[in-house]
Structure formats: structure tokens, C-alpha cells
Amino acid sequence: MKIVKLGTREYAPVFEEMKAFNANRTADTEDELWVVEHPSVFTQGLAGKPEHLLASSDIPVVQIDRGGQITYHGLGQLVVYTLIDFKRRKTSVRHIVSALENAIIATLAQYNIQSTNDPNRPGVYVGERKIASLGLRIKNGSVYHGLALNVNMDLEPFHQINPCGYAGLEMTQIADYVQPAPSLDAVADKLTAHLMRELVFQAA
């Protein structure tokens, strides 16, 4: 599995690159983790309902092809796209989701943040507040999209939506528990190491 660090990139071009990677991959294509930070954008999943956007603003809304409702990406949030050959790993969507959640939980534990998953709602939570979101798409036997972990960002735009379709869901971030807040690069190094272990463990 290859780690690709994209730096700070606008959402829409990276979305198109993900789709192209997935469409053009072969049985021999190495799986990749894309590490990226996006400027402010709302993304609306396939089943997304417009009423979950509560207020209009200058933040663009991009319609995309993952599952789920609406979420927010912004500077200070760590995004990792998981470009995985689903057929080759002979696993299930639930196992991949669990692997992503477990990697996030293990990363947060390194910062002494106790977090859990919720079997009824994908993502990772600190108490009742959500710190990381997940959204995946399987097409042509492969997985793309991935996870977003809030590190040190402006959380206000989450109040302009029902995050992931849940009214009143409060968001949180690593910076609420750790000062000084770690850099995105430092968190990325820890998270990708855990992802490598969790996802390789799932492989056939």
C-alpha cells in the first residue's frame, strides 16, 4: 500500500482524480492512501437531502458519489482517501469501515483522547460529539473516498448543516483536548501507520 501526500488541494479536482484512478486501475494496481487537506467545501452524498443544508453561505456544495448525507471539509481537517481493491482483499464493507474506525481510535489514543465508534452511525465519537466522519464508494470492485478527522479547524461551518444527516450533532476536534494542537502532518503519520496495519490485516 502506497501513501501519497497531496498537501492542500481543492476538493473537486481530487474527486475527479479519485474516480479516474478507480476507473483505470487493474488487478496489479497497488492500493493507495491519499493524504490531503481541503479548503472549505460541503460535500453531499448520493442519498443527500437538500434540507440538511441549513444555511446558505459562500462555501460551495459539491454533489458526489459516496454514500451518506452532507459533511464539511476545511483547513485543519485531515482527509485520507482509501483507494483499495475490494475484490483482492476478499473482505466486506463492514470490515473496511471497522478498520478505518479502529485506526482513528488508535491514533486518538496516542493523544490520550478516548473515543469510540457507534454501530448505528459510521464515524468516531468522543462522548456524544463526532470527531471523524467516514464515507465510501465501491465501484468496479474497488473502494474510494475515505475518512475525515478533525484536527485543528474552524468548526463553525458544521452548524450550517445537519452533519451526516443528524440534526444537532455536535462536532469536536483534537485541538479541543490537546494543546498545543499537533500538526496535520504529525497526525497523518500516526493515522496512516495504523491504517496500513488495519487494512493489511484485512487482506486475503
Could you tell me if 136 and 66 are in contact, meaning their C-beta atoms sit under 8 angstroms apart?
yes
The answer on pLDDT for 90 being more than 90 is: no
| Mean pLDDT score, 65-82 | 92
Please tell me the least confidently modeled range out of 26-35, 169-178, 193-202. 193-202
- Predicted confidence at residue 194, as pLDDT, reads 97
**pTM of this prediction?**
0.93
Distance, CA of 30 to CA of 113 (rounded, Å): 33
Residue-wise pLDDT tens digits, 144-157: 999 999 999 999 99
| 29 labeled part of a ligand binding site | no
Exposure string of 119-158, with b = 16+ CB inside 10 Å and e = fewer, is eeebbbbbeeebbbbbbbbbeeebbbbbbbbbbbbebebb
Quote the CA–CA distance of 77 and 199 in Å, as a whole number: 22
Q: Which residues are catalytic?
A: 164
Q: How confident is the model at residue 89 (pLDDT cuts 50, 70, 90)?
A: confident
70 known member of a binding site = yes
CATH topology of domain 2-202: BirA Bifunctional Protein; domain 2 (3.30.930)
Cα angle value 66/188/169 (rounded, 5°): 50
Q: In whole numbers, what is the pLDDT of the chain averaged over residues?
A: 91
72 in a labelled binding site: yes
For residue 129, pLDDT beyond 70: yes
68 labeled part of a ligand binding site: yes
Residue 46 annotated as part of some ligand binding site: no
pLDDT for position 87: 81
